[in-house]
Amino acid sequence: MYKRPDPVARLRLTERKAALLDRIAIEGGRPEAAVQAEEARALAAQLRAEIEGAA
C-alpha cells in the first residue's frame, strides 16, 4: 500500500535543498544552481501553503 510522504518532512527537505543549492551557486560559481534554488524555494512556498491550508 502506498503511503504519501510526510508533508512537513518534505517541506524541510525542500528548504534544505534550496539552501544547499544557494551555497553551491555561491561557492562553486554555478549560476544554474541559483536557478534550481529559486525553483526549490517556490516549491517550498507551495508546500507550506498546502500544509497551512490543511490545518
Structure confidence at residue 52 as a pLDDT band (50, 70, 90): very high
Provide the percentage of residues in the chain whose pLDDT is more than 90. 87
Q: How far apart are CA 15 and CA 51, in angstroms?
A: 14
Please provide the size of the chain in residues: 55
Alpha-carbon gap, residue 10 to 2, rounded angstroms: 16
Q: With contact defined as beta carbons under 8 Å apart, do 17 and 40 qualify?
A: yes
**pLDDT confidence of residue 54:** 79
Alpha-carbon distance 1 to 47, whole Å?
23
Task: Say what the pLDDT of residue 17 is.
Answer: 98
DSSP code of residue 28: H
pLDDT at residue 15 greater than cutoff 80: yes
pLDDT in tens, 16-40: 999 999 999 999 999 999 999 999 9
